[in-house]
Amino acid sequence: MTTEYRVISTRPIRPDGVDKVTGRAVYGADVRLTGTLIGKILRSPHAHARIRRIDVSQVRALPGVKAVVTGQDLPEADDRIVDLGEDTGNLKHLRDNILATDKVLYHGHAIAAVAAVSASVAEEALKLIDVEYELLPPVLDVREAMREDAPLLHETLITESLGETGGRPSNVAEHIQHLLGDPEQGFRQADVIVEREVATATVHQGYIEPHVATALWNADDHLTIWCSTQGAFAVRQQCADLLGLPVSRIRVFPTEIGGGFGGKINVYLEPVAALLSRQSGRPVQMAMSRAEVFRATGPTPGSWVRVKMGTTRDGRLVAADAEIAFEAGAYPGSPISAATQCVFACYYIPNGRIDGPVFPRIGSIECLEAAKANPHYQAALSREDVGGNGNVYANDMGAAALRSARALRGRGVAHGFWFNAGLQSSCTINVSVDGSVQLVEGSTDIGGTRASIAMQAAEVLGLAAEDVKPVVADTASVGYTSVTGGSRTTYATGIAAIEAAHDVIRQMRERAALLWELDSEEVTFDRGVFTAAGNPGQQLSFKELAAELEETGGPITGRATVLPEGRGGAFATNIVDLEVDPDTGKVTILRFTIVQDAGKAIHPSYVEGQMQGGSAQGIGWALNEEYAMDEQGHLVNASFLDYRMPTALDLPMIDPVIVEVPNPGHPFGVRGVGEVPIVAPPAAIANALYHALGIRFSHLPMNPRAILEATGQIGAAASSK
**Non-local CB neighbours of 620 within 8 Å, separated by 6+ positions:** 203, 206, 644, 645, 646
- pLDDT at position 87: 83
- pLDDT at position 390: 44
Give the span between the Cα atoms of 494 and 456, in whole angstroms: 6
515 sits in which H/E element = helix 494-516
> Residue 227 in contact with residue 233, Cβ under 8 Å?
no
Q: What does the angle CA 340 – CA 152 – CA 176 come to, to the nearest 5 degrees?
A: 20
How far is CA 244 from its chain centroid? Answer: 28
The partner residues of 672 in beta bridges, in order of sequence, read: none
CATH 3.30.365.10 fits 364-420+568-719, yes or no: yes
- pLDDT at position 81: 87
- pLDDT at position 231: 97
Q: Rounded to the nearest 5°, which phi and psi values hold at 602?
A: -65, -55
Shortest CA distance to 518 belongs to which of 504, 531, 528? 531
Give the span between the Cα atoms of 526 and 542, in whole angstroms: 10
Q: What is the DSSP string of 102-153?
A: SEE-STT-EEEEEEESSHHHHHHHHHT-EEEEEE------HHHHTSTTSPPS
- pLDDT at position 386: 38
Give the span between the Cα atoms of 397 and 418, in whole angstroms: 40
Give the span between the Cα atoms of 180 and 356, in whole angstroms: 8
Mean pLDDT of successive 10-residue segments in the chain (721 residues)?
85 95 97 98 98 97 98 93 86 96 97 98 98 96 92 91 82 87 94 96 96 98 98 98 97 97 96 98 98 95 95 94 93 87 82 65 95 98 53 50 71 96 97 98 96 98 98 98 96 98 98 96 97 94 97 97 95 98 96 98 98 98 97 97 94 98 97 96 98 96 97 61 44
Q: Looking at domain 17-23+421-562, which CATH architecture does it have? A: 2-Layer Sandwich (3.30)
- pLDDT at position 720: 47
542 sits in which H/E element = helix 542-546
Shortest CA distance to 230 belongs to which of 446, 380, 499? 446
- pLDDT at position 21: 95
Give the span between the Cα atoms of 153 and 695, in whole angstroms: 38
- DSSP-derived secondary structure letter, 603: S
At position 345, the amino acid (one-letter code) is: A
The yes-or-no answer to whether 17-23+421-562 and 364-420+568-719 have a common fold is yes
Name the pTM for this structure.
0.94
> Residue 111 in contact with residue 90, Cβ under 8 Å?
no
Q: Which homologous superfamily does the CATH classification assign to the domain defined by 31-138+213-296?
A: Aldehyde oxidase/xanthine dehydrogenase, a/b hammerhead (3.90.1170.50)
Shortest CA distance to 12 belongs to which of 352, 313, 398, 459? 459
Strand pairing category for 103-104 and 523-526: unpaired
Give the span between the Cα atoms of 203 and 625, in whole angstroms: 6
- pLDDT at position 333: 86
Q: Where in the chain are the domains?
A: 17-23+421-562, 31-138+213-296, 142-203+300-342, 364-420+568-719
**Non-local CB neighbours of 699 within 8 Å, separated by 6+ positions:** 198, 199, 200, 201, 706
Give the span between the Cα atoms of 657 and 416, in whole angstroms: 15
**Non-local CB neighbours of 619 within 8 Å, separated by 6+ positions:** 589, 592, 646, 651, 681, 685
CATH 3.30.365.10 fits 142-203+300-342, yes or no: yes
- pLDDT at position 1: 46
- pLDDT at position 343: 87
Shortest CA distance to 430 belongs to which of 507, 332, 534, 515? 507
Q: What is the DSSP string of 51-107?
A: EEEEE-HHHHTSTTEEEEEEGGGSPP--S-EEE-SSSEEEHHHHHHHHS-SSEE-ST
Give the span between the Cα atoms of 656 and 30, in whole angstroms: 35
Give the span between the Cα atoms of 303 and 141, in whole angstroms: 9
- pLDDT at position 398: 53
Give the span between the Cα atoms of 543 and 518, in whole angstroms: 20
The partner residues of 31 in beta bridges, in order of sequence, read: none
CB-facing half-sphere around the CA of 469: CA atoms within 13 A? 8
- pLDDT at position 401: 56
